[in-house]
Structure 1
Amino acid sequence: MTSTVLVLNCGSSSIKYQLIDPSGPTVLAKGIAERIGEPDGRVRHEIGDDVDERDAELADHAAALDDIVTAFDATGGLAERDLAAVGHRIVHGGDRFSEPVLVDDDVEEVIEELAPLAPLHNPPGLTALRLARRALPDLPHVAVFDTAFHQSLPPSAYTYALDRELASTHRVRRYGFHGTSVSYVSREAARLLELNPDDANLIVLHLGNGASATAVRGGRSVDTSMGLTPLEGLVMGTRGGDVDPGVLTYLHREAGLSVDELDEMLNRRSGMLGLAGANDMREVHRRARAGDESARLAREVYCHRIRRYVGAYLAVLGHAHAIVFTAGVGENDSWVRSHALAGMRRLGVEVDHVRNSFVSSRAHVISPDGADVRVMVVPTNEELEIARQAAELVG
């Protein structure tokens, strides 16, 4: 009886994969191809007892996926892995997909149609999906959408104050992203708090190259920082988050930037890269410690934006049991965690600096005993969440 799911989690500059038996759960293999399209590409494959870590030229996502398949070929190939399905993370499902779906040619076409809403993510995710369907044609392929968790947003949260008919015609609304991660992290945080997920009020800060904040009431998303596209909200690696829309029309008139040039700037040349010249927070920290004032300012802007959203979502929820940090920066960057929540003691939010400096791969609390609002670090596991949803769909 087949029991494992191969999960492909395709981001804007990486492909993570895991081979998972979700009933355990047990991870049988995992790896990552990262810094895709950059000169210093890197891959790590862990398959059984074999570990392969090396520099690699990863021109695009197709090259990265080929490297992953080759790694499995070296240890018997995917055909020997007892696969029940292949699960794919797809960022934008628009208003067409509110649940996981079996992929066919029609689904691929819709995902492609939605690419303008997530230009950094849907195209590479679709590339991986098409390549995997060709490589493993006899297996069901399941698309799991980052937007699905946020389908619970109330109209007051997802509606933009735009011309009603125009917005309706073009399906302009807040969709939200990182839903797969937030869904997993919310349940894990509730478990650590010894609460039923239906009773937990949480603010989840997913801080990676992409970053978002989500207010979760009783296991359901009620507000989130990303909008129609993944551009809105927090400061990110190459995306600036919130910006006055008038800035774009101003730059169009005064700097002569075309729509395509503005789109390129917003998606690929803003955020930490635009402010500090580097989109990797570790490099930004290094530059700031070396006295780079641009890097120092970039860190402050980054944390100020997080603090602003936390305050807003405390108001939306009325009361929060916990603020939860997750993803690459959220899980590993103690400086960001402490500075993002600085000055919020009167709101019941405080970080214990000793606990915050503790490095662990497990979920843990970093607020002092007795804090009104617990502050937690909960490692995300989007791959396990995707594997569970894919396995449930294919039975």
Structure 2
Amino acid sequence: MKNPILVLNCGSSSIKYALLGDDSEGRVQGLAENLGLDTARIKHQDINGEKVEISLAGATHQWALQKILNLLSEYKPRAVGHRVVHGGRQFSEAVLVDDNVLTEVKRLKILAPLHNPANALGIEAVKNMYPDLPNVVVFDTAFHQTMPEKAYRYAIPKEFYEEHRIRRYGFHGASHNYVSNRATNLANTGSQDGWVTAHLGNGSSLTAVFDGKSLDTTMGLTPLEGVPMGTRSGDVDPSLHIHLHRTLGYSLDEIDTILNKRSGLLGISGISSDMRTIDQASSEGNADAKLAIEIFCYKVARYIASLSCALPTFTGIVFTGGIGENSSSVREKILANLPHFGIEIDDNENQRLVRGAEGAIHTKSSRLQVWVIPTDEEFQIAKETKQVLGL
């Protein structure tokens, strides 16, 4: 494997990792999960696709990273690319980690309290074990720093923006960056393309991308804004918080938990946050499950329509993420909510493109192109890491 780059995505109790080289020999990848618990384990897949599961009862992040690096030792990574969720407004691109960058990652936990501390843990663990190994951070928010002020400012007193950085940031940047570039290469229109990229999964966001730049997106200051997700509500009346507090006595922390962990598909269906489970229940006649799908598809379509306003040219729509890549029925329902855009779908291709398949689902006479493109955030992070280091 030539110029291998290790990509790390550290969560509060997990570490997703992948080792990618310059060549097309494949990748080594895996997941350390349930960290801190007796059920902690690593699910590892080698370059030949062989899988192994390793028990690490009670493992910390550093212990798990040591094991991961041991598993990858024969490849000698050139550098580590870290996914970091929030880079605030000061980071508009990937950067090499130094003490100041690490301090900023930690400080920005005020904007991403569930994610940035875990991301910082991963950076520190690698630096402690391999102090000479370069570390690069790739921020979820960086791709969206090209949004114009009219898209990222909230209509609130300007001192909140100027003094406290309260604005829309957007997330899933690596995914939107990767699939929009891939769509442009596949479409081969010979002109500047404008896409609405729909990353649909347990966390969902959409972005308007023109000529490779984000012009607007659905998530805002936090990942709660936008469309309904697995357990997140998406957009609600901003006065809902005060209404629930005044009428039902909920605290702000309780309301935050409700909107982030008990809402979305789970809240509407009362069954699950997993679209596959909800789809099955809907097919069996469960009215709440059916409604959850209808609301999700309608809200995604509504955002596709509104994001088209940001694009000088609207080339088409790209579906990605766990739901976007695998649920042909959800794609069909979303597009059915867009009757004024001249979209024509090849039903056979739509049904065929699941389980990691890539391709177009529009007909030759369709006014807009529609693509299904499996996201590859690890590839994008490795690519940006190499660009920073000049590899």
Q: What TM-score, normalized to structure 2?
A: 0.90
Alignment of 1:1-395 (within 5 A): 3-10=3-10, 15-21=15-21, 23-33=22-32, 44-49=43-48, 51-53=50-52, 62=60, 66-67=63-64, 69-70=66-67, 73=70, 77-195=71-189, 199-276=192-269, 277-317=271-311, 319-359=313-353, 361-395=356-390
SS at match of 1:31: strand
After superposition, the Cα gap between the structure-2 partners of 1:170 and 1:143, relative to the gap in structure 1 and judged at 3 Å, is same
After superposition, the Cα gap between the structure-2 partners of 1:32 and 1:368, relative to the gap in structure 1 and judged at 3 Å, is farther
Kept in 1, the 8 Å contact 2:2–2:23? The answer is no
Kept in 2, the 8 Å contact 1:40–1:55? The answer is no
Kept in 1, the 8 Å contact 2:353–2:372? The answer is no
Q: CA shift at 1:308, angstroms? A: 0.4
Q: CA shift at 1:91, angstroms? A: 1.0
Q: CA shift at 1:184, angstroms? A: 1.0
Kept in 2, the 8 Å contact 1:175–1:226? The answer is yes
Kept in 1, the 8 Å contact 2:13–2:36? The answer is yes
SS at match of 1:92: coil
% identical equivalent positions: 43
Alpha-carbon distance in 1 for matches of 2:69, 2:333 = 42
Q: CA shift at 1:212, angstroms? A: 0.5
Q: What TM-score, normalized to structure 1?
A: 0.89
Kept in 2, the 8 Å contact 1:88–1:142? The answer is yes
Q: CA shift at 1:364, angstroms? A: 0.2
Q: CA shift at 1:336, angstroms? A: 1.2
Q: CA shift at 1:346, angstroms? A: 2.9
**Matched letter for residue 196 of structure 2:** I
> What are the Cα deviations for residues 127-157 of structure 1, in whole angstroms up to 9, with x where unaligned?
3333333333321111100111111101111
SS at match of 1:7: strand
Q: CA shift at 1:376, angstroms? A: 0.6
After superposition, the Cα gap between the structure-2 partners of 1:136 and 1:332, relative to the gap in structure 1 and judged at 3 Å, is farther
**Matched letter for residue 302 of structure 2:** R
* Higher deviation after alignment, 227-236 or 50-59: 50-59
Alpha-carbon distance in 1 for matches of 2:63, 2:266 = 29
Alpha-carbon distance in 2 for matches of 1:55, 1:78 = 14
Q: What are structure 1's unaligned runs of at least 5 residues?
A: none
Kept in 2, the 8 Å contact 1:86–1:139? The answer is yes
Alpha-carbon distance in 1 for matches of 2:279, 2:40 = 21
After superposition, the Cα gap between the structure-2 partners of 1:71 and 1:333, relative to the gap in structure 1 and judged at 3 Å, is same
Q: CA shift at 1:278, angstroms? A: 1.6
After superposition, the Cα gap between the structure-2 partners of 1:151 and 1:81, relative to the gap in structure 1 and judged at 3 Å, is same
Alpha-carbon distance in 2 for matches of 1:58, 1:351 = 49
After superposition, the Cα gap between the structure-2 partners of 1:66 and 1:374, relative to the gap in structure 1 and judged at 3 Å, is farther
Kept in 2, the 8 Å contact 1:203–1:323? The answer is yes
SS at match of 2:16: strand
Q: CA shift at 1:279, angstroms? A: 1.7
**Matched letter for residue 369 of structure 1:** K
Alpha-carbon distance in 2 for matches of 1:356, 1:58 = 43
After superposition, the Cα gap between the structure-2 partners of 1:334 and 1:87, relative to the gap in structure 1 and judged at 3 Å, is same
Q: CA shift at 1:218, angstroms? A: 1.5
Alpha-carbon distance in 2 for matches of 1:309, 1:13 = 32
* Higher deviation after alignment, 377-386 or 121-130: 121-130
**Matched letter for residue 142 of structure 2:** A
After superposition, the Cα gap between the structure-2 partners of 1:128 and 1:274, relative to the gap in structure 1 and judged at 3 Å, is farther
* Higher deviation after alignment, 237-246 or 51-60: 51-60
Kept in 2, the 8 Å contact 1:90–1:146? The answer is yes
After superposition, the Cα gap between the structure-2 partners of 1:313 and 1:56, relative to the gap in structure 1 and judged at 3 Å, is farther
* Higher deviation after alignment, 165-174 or 182-191: 165-174
SS at match of 1:143: strand
After superposition, the Cα gap between the structure-2 partners of 1:273 and 1:59, relative to the gap in structure 1 and judged at 3 Å, is farther
Kept in 2, the 8 Å contact 1:19–1:28? The answer is yes
After superposition, the Cα gap between the structure-2 partners of 1:57 and 1:266, relative to the gap in structure 1 and judged at 3 Å, is farther
Q: What are structure 2's unaligned runs of at least 5 residues?
A: none
**Matched letter for residue 96 of structure 1:** Q
Kept in 1, the 8 Å contact 2:105–2:116? The answer is yes
Kept in 1, the 8 Å contact 2:26–2:47? The answer is no
**Matched letter for residue 391 of structure 1:** K
Q: CA shift at 1:41, angstroms? A: 8.2
Q: CA shift at 1:14, angstroms? A: 5.4
Number of positions where the alignment pairs a residue of Structure 1 with one of Structure 2: 388
SS at match of 2:50: strand
After superposition, the Cα gap between the structure-2 partners of 1:28 and 1:109, relative to the gap in structure 1 and judged at 3 Å, is same
**Matched letter for residue 51 of structure 2:** D
After superposition, the Cα gap between the structure-2 partners of 1:40 and 1:280, relative to the gap in structure 1 and judged at 3 Å, is farther
> What are the Cα deviations for residues 340-381 of structure 1, in whole angstroms up to 9, with x where unaligned?
111424311233221111035342001222101011101111
Kept in 1, the 8 Å contact 2:42–2:56? The answer is no
Aligned-residue Cα RMSD (Å) equals 2.7
Kept in 1, the 8 Å contact 2:13–2:34? The answer is yes
